[in-house]
Structure 1
Amino acid sequence: MPQKIIAVYPGTFDPMTLGHEDVIRRACQLFDSVIVAVASGHHKKAMFTLQERVDMARDAVKSLPHVQVEGFSGLVRDFVVARGAKAMVRGLRAVTDFDYEFQLAGMNRSLMPEVETVFLTPSDKYQFISSTFVREIAVLGGEIDKFVSPIIQQRMIEKVRSLGRD
């Protein structure tokens, strides 16, 4: 029986956008199993805690049967190798993402030569969406329903209220 191919899609997902969800759906067409790896994001100031981001991601992908969501801290390399993944999925929105992602893929290849990095682009309608923009729009009271799923939108509204920014 052939070995099942596991892919890991790492990110901070603060919050998970429709673009992220689109990349996950595309990855599901290519791999037997996709693990969404929600990073603690020690280098970024996250709006949501790691557990909140994991919970939101699970809600967003619950209809996809071959997708798991796990939080992690530390090197993504350690996470990927521990899960036996053969691929790491990275989303590319625009040419501006490419330079950083290309360098990251090279570094990851050096750290784990047995794992391939696969770049996927979201649908045209999602290519401009970034979590940073979504957070800023939400904090400033703008509409985010075109950028995130309804469950994420509700969590964003609640978070903004809890921060006293509504």
Structure 2
Amino acid sequence: MDILIGYYDWIKAVHIMAVIAWMAGLFYLPRLFVYHAERAAVGSEMDKTFQIMEEKLLRVIMTPAMIVAWVAGLMMIGMGGFDWGSVWAWVKIISVVLMSGAHGWMSARRKDFATGQNTRSGRTYRLANEVPTVLMVFIVIAVIVRPF
């Protein structure tokens, strides 16, 4: 990792860009699910359109962005950019793991829609839309303010 120290700021910039792209998807995908659950009958043209949108959002934007965010973040940790003795660091790591879990949950829900087996309401997806927001608040405050 010593060879990468000179690139720390570049790696951090890539990390931030990847997080922004990932978060955009985490905010948008549940909104698509809301409309998909409430307005598209299984097998309809609208259902097929939502399926394409959801699949591409996950495959083309969200999952690659999540992977890049994790890789860049782990690289920065490897370069000493993390204080394991601080509470803020643990709040961030736990929140990022939970954010990844939310991503996985959304990915599973996309598969439910793709197979015509969605059983969740638009209300469930509205609530799911709040999870990434709350986790993002914890992460940003933990990293920038470091109140603990």
Fold agreement, TM-score > 0.5: no
Which has the larger strand fraction? Answer: 1
Please tell me whether Structure 1 or Structure 2 has the larger radius of gyration of its CA atoms.
2
Higher share of residues assigned helix: 2
Range of TM-score over shorter length: under 0.3
Q: TM-score w.r.t. structure 2 length? A: 0.28
